[in-house]
């Protein structure tokens, strides 16, 4: 068991390493090719070491700030709004899922049209939201909320619906009140589904917030991104933002997985499975001992 467990971890590390090497190799081959054929290769595909050098260079690129400084200060405005919109969207998504579960009418009225939200292109929606709200920060919040809303609502509802009939029957036998059915069975059952929704929504909220930035020149990651692309500042700011956003997006998903382990005790127990297997074995032995005193001879039908 222990050995198997170790082998599995090694395999996972191997996978990560494999992909990292593959991506870096592909990137560098591309960068070398670009460097040989194009006049401004850094605009298309710079070498990774060039990007790293830009990240750690003390040279000011804009308003006396280094490239990393620009990225980190503008990230604050964007990510804070992404987080706010994510929280609002996820909260509303959860409540709507609950409302749809509570009322068949609400579900019939809303659910089929809910996915339309997914189909509206954010870029098209963003200027309209900006015009309505009249404020870039509020727009970031609203767009991030709209995008977070659907995956959370749809997944949570799926979670409610995945509760088996047995569980309802059990609660009915114990004369459970509706409120108890929800707090003790339905909501806890839906939590893993809710987290799946949150893991999908978090990077989307960040992407949305960055996209909204590009609409106005008021700072934020997206704004710096487009300025950098228009050569208003070093192009390496662009590359840094690309990597930084990718990192934050992946990190947000991991962060949510980590929170899930904290709130959902069954996930925590996954780590203890090896230990309990030993105990189960002991149980098996003791019953076998009981058995040996008697003739088995089970007459089956």
Partner 1 sequence: MNAAEYTRNDVPDEIVIRDLGVTFQDNKGEDVQAITGVNLNIKKGEFVSLLGPSGCGKTTLLRCVADLQEPTDGDIHVEGMTPKEVRLQHKFGFVFQSPVLFDWRTVKKNVELPLEMMYQTKQQRSERADEMLEMVGLTNFANHFPNQLSGGMQQRVNIARALGIRPDILLMDEPFSALDEFTKEKLHEDLLRIWRKTNKTILFVTHNIQEAVFLSDRVCVLSPHPGRLSAVVDIDLPRPRTLDMKETPAFNQLVLKVRNSFEGGSFS
Binding site for partner 1 (CB under 8 A): 164, 166-167, 169-177, 180, 184-185, 188-189, 191, 264-266, 269, 272-273, 276, 279-280, 283-284, 287-288, 290-291, 294-299, 301
- The least CB distance from residue 105 to partner 1, in Å, is 25
- The least CB distance from residue 257 to partner 1, in Å, is 16
CA angle 246, 198, 10 (to 5 degrees): 60
Burial of 72 (0-12, 13-18, 19+ CB in 10 A): middle
Cβ neighbours of 196 (radius 10 Å)? 19
Among residues 189 and 216, whose Cβ is nearest to partner 1?
189
Among residues 172 and 247, whose Cβ is nearest to partner 1?
172
Q: Which two tokens stand for residue 114?
A: 């809910």
Residues 213 and 223: their CA atoms lie apart, in Å, by 5
- The least CB distance from residue 197 to partner 1, in Å, is 17
- The least CB distance from residue 18 to partner 1, in Å, is 31
Task: Return the H-helix or E-strand segment holding 65.
Answer: strand 65-66
- The least CB distance from residue 162 to partner 1, in Å, is 12
Q: At what angle do helices 2-37 and 48-56 cross, to 10 degrees?
A: 90
Among residues 37 and 164, whose Cβ is nearest to partner 1?
164
> Do residues 14 and 21 make contact, with C-beta atoms less than 8 angstroms apart?
no
Residues 275 and 279: their CA atoms lie apart, in Å, by 7
- The least CB distance from residue 289 to partner 1, in Å, is 11
Q: How remote is the C-alpha of 225 from its chain's centroid? A: 23
Residues 40 and 121: their CA atoms lie apart, in Å, by 33
Among residues 65 and 185, whose Cβ is nearest to partner 1?
185
Among residues 8 and 273, whose Cβ is nearest to partner 1?
273
Residues 79 and 54: their CA atoms lie apart, in Å, by 22
Among residues 36 and 295, whose Cβ is nearest to partner 1?
295
- The least CB distance from residue 241 to partner 1, in Å, is 40
Among residues 123 and 273, whose Cβ is nearest to partner 1?
273
Nearest residue to 76 via CA among 218, 204, 234: 218
Residues 27 and 19: their CA atoms lie apart, in Å, by 12
Among residues 34 and 185, whose Cβ is nearest to partner 1?
185
- The least CB distance from residue 168 to partner 1, in Å, is 10
- Beta-carbon contacts of 214 under 8 Å, excluding residues fewer than 6 positions away, are 222, 223, 225, 226
């Amino acid at each position: 068991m222990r050995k198997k467990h170790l082998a599995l971890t090694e395999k996972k590390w191997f996978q990560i390493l494999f992909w990292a090497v593959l991506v870096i190799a592909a990137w560098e081959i591309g960068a070398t090719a670009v460097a040989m054929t194009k006049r401004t290769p850094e605009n298309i595909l710079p070498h990774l070491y060039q990007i790293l050098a830009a990240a750690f260079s003390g040279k000011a690129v804009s308003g006396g700030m280094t490239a990393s400084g620009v990225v980190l200060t503008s990230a604050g405005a964007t990510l804070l709004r992404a987080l706010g919109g994510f929280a609002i969207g996820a909260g509303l998504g959860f409540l709507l899922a609950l409302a749809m579960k509570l009322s068949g009418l609400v579900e019939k009225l809303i659910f089929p049209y809910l996915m339309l939200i997914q189909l509206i292109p954010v870029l098209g929606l963003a200027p309209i939201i900006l015009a309505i709200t009249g404020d870039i920060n509020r727009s970031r919040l609203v767009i991030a909320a709209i995008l977070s809303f659907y995956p959370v609502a749809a997944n949570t509802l799926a979670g409610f619906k995945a509760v088996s009939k047995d569980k309802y029957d059990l609660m009915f036998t114990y004369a459970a009140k509706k409120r108890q059915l929800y707090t003790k069975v339905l909501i806890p059952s839906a939590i893993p589904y809710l987290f799946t929704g949150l893991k999908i929504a978090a990077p989307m909220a960040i992407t949305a917030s960055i996209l909204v930035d590009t609409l106005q020149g008021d700072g934020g990651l997206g704004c710096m991104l487009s300025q950098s692309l228009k050569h208003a500042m070093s192009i390496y700011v662009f590359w840094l933002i690309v990597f930084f956003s990718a990192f934050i997006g992946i990190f947000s998903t991991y962060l949510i997985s980590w929170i899930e382990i904290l709130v959902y005790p069954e996930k925590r127990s996954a780590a203890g499975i090896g230990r309990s297997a030993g105990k189960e074995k002991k149980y098996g032995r003791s019953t076998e001992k009981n058995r040996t005193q008697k003739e088995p001879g089970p007459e089956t039908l």
